[in-house]
Amino acid sequence: MEFQHTACLGGGVIGASWAALFLASGRSVALFDPDPAVEGRVRDYIETAWPAMTELGLMTRGTPDAITFHASAAAAVEGAGFVQESVPERLPIKHATFAEIEPALAPDAIIASSASGLTLGQMQPGWADPSRFVLGHPFNPPHLIPLVEVLGNDRTAPGVVEDAQRFYESIGKTTIRLHKEVPGHVANRLQAAIWREAIHLVATGVASVGDVDKAIWSGPGLRWAAMGPTMLFNLGAGEGGLQAFCDHFTDTFNGWWDDLGQVYLTDEVTGQLTEGIASEAGGLSPAELSQKRDAMIVALQKAVAGLR
């Protein structure tokens, strides 16, 4: 098996989920996190995640016990073929981590950063030689959501991005390749664009927070779980495909784009959203809602398995 031994740096929300997935795929995992409570927390997380990964068929010959906890990042990466870095999103911490692990890495190891906001270019100065360092940005939680955004640049060695993509695909991920660095990568920018207009619709009194959310999950969101927006519009004007769709709807879309809102998260806007979400949550706690969300994500993925 390729990259049989892996390392996870950081065992928080994202690191614990990556560790669970790597274990499920039959890899061993060495983890470092300075929090003394991390071992219990990560072991609990893996135990909770295991049934969902089994249901999704992600389990090959994995065992939850193939994880070890280490006293330093340098000790954790020793002998690892693939290292997933998920330390806090602060540049000095990322840079210090890279400087510490660089001398301890196997020469052919690949190191991928989970960073959501920082770009590869901002993180590369932490390395003397960043040629085997890529972005491998997951969507939370990585053990359930397939997407990983992968990026290298002109300082990345040939083949490293492709090897990272092959590794992720081998553990059940769907990868996309970014050709250029932009803040937020691709998927978070798309989320931000949708959320901006969702907030604008609430702030201008068009609909409630609950109804705007409903408009997504019961409408376009369901279609987007099957296919992307451009492919769906390719199907939106019959046999003429996307050309016919664009010919037909040019003025409509250009007009809507001119009318879309520009919002910022001011205290007033945040207040309106939190008030709306309290009513939408119907008394359920974030933990209860997360459980519900994860159960639906697993069910949706199982339902479409084999159809894609």
CB of 149 to ligand NAD, least distance (A): 9
CB of 78 to ligand NAD, least distance (A): 15
- Report long-range pairs for 238-245 (Cβ below 8 Å, ≥24 apart): none
CB-wise, 11 or 81, nearer to ligand NAD?
11
Q: Establish if 148 lies at the interface with ligand NAD (CB under 6 A).
A: no
Peptide bond into 130 cis (omega under 30): no
Q: Establish if 32 lies at the interface with ligand NAD (CB under 6 A).
A: yes
Region near ligand NAD per CB under 6 A, out of 89-97, 177-185, 202-210, 272-280: 89-97
Region near ligand NAD per CB under 6 A, out of 51-59, 111-119, 121-129, 280-288: 111-119
How many residues bind ligand NAD (CB under 6 A)? The answer is 26
Instruction: From residue 71, give the alpha-carbon distance in Å to each of 10, 36, 83, 87, 108.
Output: 12, 10, 16, 15, 23
Q: Establish if 9 lies at the interface with ligand NAD (CB under 6 A).
A: yes
Region near ligand NAD per CB under 6 A, out of 5-13, 44-52, 146-154, 203-211: 5-13
Q: Where in 121-140 is the site for ligand NAD (CB under 6 A)?
A: 137-138, 140
CB-wise, 69 or 249, nearer to ligand NAD?
69
What residue ranges in 46-126 does DSSP mark as E strands?
A: 67-69, 82-85, 110-113
When CB distances to ligand NAD are compared, the closest residue is: 12
Q: Where in 49-88 is the site for ligand NAD (CB under 6 A)?
A: 73, 86-88
CA gap 251, 255 in Å, rounded: 6
Would residue 134 be called left, alpha or beta, if left means φ above 0 and alpha means ψ between -120 and 50 degrees? beta
Instruction: From residue 191, give the alpha-carbon distance in Å to each of 72, 184, 185, 221.
Output: 35, 10, 11, 12
- Compute the half-sphere exposure of residue 268: CA atoms within 13 Å on the CB side of its CA: 6
Q: Where in 90-109 is the site for ligand NAD (CB under 6 A)?
A: 93, 97
CA gap 101, 263 in Å, rounded: 41
CB-wise, 60 or 174, nearer to ligand NAD?
174
Q: Establish if 15 lies at the interface with ligand NAD (CB under 6 A).
A: yes
3-state secondary structure of 195: helix
Whether residue 46 contacts residue 20, with contact meaning beta carbons closer than 8 Å, is answered with: yes
Q: Among 3, 8, 10, 23, which residue interacts with ligand NAD (rule: CB under 6 A)?
A: 10
CA gap 143, 297 in Å, rounded: 11
CB proximity list for 288: less than 8 A, separation 6 or greater: none
CB-wise, 124 or 272, nearer to ligand NAD?
124
CB of 248 to ligand NAD, least distance (A): 38
Whether residue 84 contacts residue 109, with contact meaning beta carbons closer than 8 Å, is answered with: no
Q: Among 6, 7, 8, 14, which residue interacts with ligand NAD (rule: CB under 6 A)?
A: 14
CB-wise, 176 or 246, nearer to ligand NAD?
176
CB-wise, 32 or 167, nearer to ligand NAD?
32
Q: Which residues bind ligand NAD (CB under 6 A)?
A: 9-15, 32-35, 38, 73, 86-89, 93, 97, 114-117, 137-138, 140
